[in-house]
């Protein structure tokens, strides 16, 4: 391994480790999200614990750390696929095992979405969202529903003739994300009710209530 690669892999892990959801909910809402619901310091739990005012910035920042880290990696390593794939995994691992939270972390979904956005555009993210929606609709459990969304990304890869290297990379990513989902307790969820409540809360300031 070249020194440049080692340094950037370490940097990618460090960036991935930044627990934005934990920081935002702790600093601005005085709540430690590792003590609520599934104890997960990620964007989903930020939504649950402190609402959209914490959830949206947490989600954007987690997506951004995946997107921009791989953007920089792609710029540095040019057309070399393997170092970019490794950097992607390091961001995901950093989020899952944050050095700032004693190697505890989130499920890495948002940071993975940022990675997918840069590497493949919006389509795999749309596949993930649709798969997750139908998964939640059918199973009514957050982690099981999300697993269906995760593997919908492989469906995207097959439908759009991704090359073998990309399919291997995405499969390994999906396996890790599935592990992260299934290792946490299931939380029952009524996705239709949740969407209605989110829309209601979001429109609250504009309704003058």
pLDDT tens per residue, range 41-88: 989 889 889 888 999 999 999 999 999 999 999 999 887 899 999 999
Tell me the pTM.
0.90
Those residues whose C-beta lies under 8 Å from the C-beta of residue 24, and which sit 6 or more positions away, are 46, 50, 54, 57, 58, 61
Does residue 10 register a pLDDT over 50? yes
Does residue 9 register a pLDDT over 70? yes
**Average pLDDT of span 131-151:** 93
What would the pLDDT profile of 101-120 be if each residue is shown by its tens digit?
999 999 999 999 999 999 99
Number of structural domains in the chain: 1
CA triplet 65, 71, 76: central angle to 5 degrees?
A: 125
Of 95, 98, 91, 140, nearest to 116 by C-alpha is 91
CA triplet 84, 110, 29: central angle to 5 degrees?
A: 135
Does residue 206 register a pLDDT over 80? no
**Average pLDDT of span 171-184:** 94
Does residue 146 register a pLDDT over 50? yes
d(Cα 130, Cα 143) in Å, to the nearest integer? Answer: 15
Does residue 202 register a pLDDT over 70? no
For residue 135, give both structure tokens. 């998964």
Domain interval for residue 24: 3-207
- Return the CA Rg of the chain: 17
């Amino acid at each position: 391994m070249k020194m440049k690669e080692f340094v950037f892999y370490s940097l990618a892990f460090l960036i991935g480790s930044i627990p934005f959801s934990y920081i935002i909910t702790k600093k601005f809402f005085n709540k430690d999200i590792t003590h609520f619901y599934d104890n997960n310091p990620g964007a989903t739990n930020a939504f649950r614990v402190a609402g959209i005012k914490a959830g949206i910035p947490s989600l954007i920042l987690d997506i951004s750390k995946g997107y921009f880290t791989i953007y920089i990696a792609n710029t540095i390593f040019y057309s070399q696929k393997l170092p970019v794939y490794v950097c992607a995994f390091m961001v995901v691992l950093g989020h899952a095992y944050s050095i700032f939270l004693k190697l505890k972390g989130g499920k890495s979904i948002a940071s993975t979405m940022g990675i997918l956005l840069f590497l493949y555009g919006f389509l795999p993210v749309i596949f993930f969202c649709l798969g997750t929606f139908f998964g939640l609709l059918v199973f009514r459990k957050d982690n099981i529903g999300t697993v269906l969304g995760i593997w919908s990304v492989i469906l995207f890869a097959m439908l759009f003739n991704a090359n073998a290297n990309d399919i291997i990379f995405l499969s390994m990513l999906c396996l890790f994300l599935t592990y992260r989902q299934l290792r946490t307790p299931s939380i029952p969820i009524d996705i239709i009710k949740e969407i209605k409540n989110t829309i209601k809360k979001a429109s609250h300031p504009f309704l003058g209530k």
